[in-house]
């Protein structure tokens, strides 16, 4: 198998790209099954390679944590209103995987790096000390991106 085929198969997200036919199968992005493969990797290390969980240390690197919100219109239900929540479902699966790993391995052994994303450009300002800071208009008092009135924020991945 060529590396190009592996790359095409692993990035074949069905909402964006076509599946890759290979060996009688239609290959799609593994993120459809497990968006954050942390628990799969831990299970394989412990079962297939007989690594004791006490020896496992995890560095999990995410692709970005875009805030998601349950809007007032979504509360009423319906597929059309919830179509944009695919990202929220993937985020919830990733949060579950990270927290399950922390339960099995101890929190100190699982580090998650997840950059925060915003819906627009990030305005940077220079502080008095010359350091760049994010403009206050895009962040709330808790440092999280501001939500729209009435929206319920989804939990952050820690």
* 90-141: pLDDT as tens digits: 888 888 999 999 999 999 999 998 877 765 555 656 666 655 554 444 444 4
Distance CA 123, CA 134 (A): 6
Average pLDDT, the chain: 78
Would the pLDDT of 149 be above 80? no
Distance CA 110, CA 158 (A): 10
Q: pTM for the full model? A: 0.62
Look at residue 139 in the predicted model and tell me its pLDDT: 45
Distance CA 33, CA 39 (A): 12
* 16-42: pLDDT as tens digits: 888 999 889 999 888 888 888 999 999
Q: With H, G, I as helix, E, B as strand and everything else as coil, classify residue 101.
A: helix
Distance CA 46, CA 43 (A): 5
Structure tokens at 64: 């970005």
Distance CA 9, CA 82 (A): 27
């Amino acid at each position: 198998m060529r590396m190009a085929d592996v790359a095409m198969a692993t990035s074949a997200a069905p909402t964006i790209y076509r599946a890759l036919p290979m060996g009688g199968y239609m290959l799609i992005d593994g993120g459809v099954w497990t968006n954050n493969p942390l628990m799969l990797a831990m299970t394989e290390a412990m079962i297939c390679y007989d690594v004791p969980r006490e020896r496992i240390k995890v560095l999990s690197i995410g692709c970005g944590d875009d805030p998601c919100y349950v809007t007032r219109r979504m509360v009423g239900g319906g597929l059309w209103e919830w179509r944009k929540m695919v990202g929220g479902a993937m985020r919830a699966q990733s949060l579950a995987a990270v927290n399950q790993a922390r339960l099995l391995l101890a929190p100190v052994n699982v580090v998650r790096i997840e950059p925060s994303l915003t819906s627009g450009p990030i305005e940077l300002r220079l502080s008095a000390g010359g350091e760049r800071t994010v403009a206050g208009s895009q962040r709330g008092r808790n440092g999280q991106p501001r939500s729209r009135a009435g929206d319920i924020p989804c939990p952050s991945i820690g």
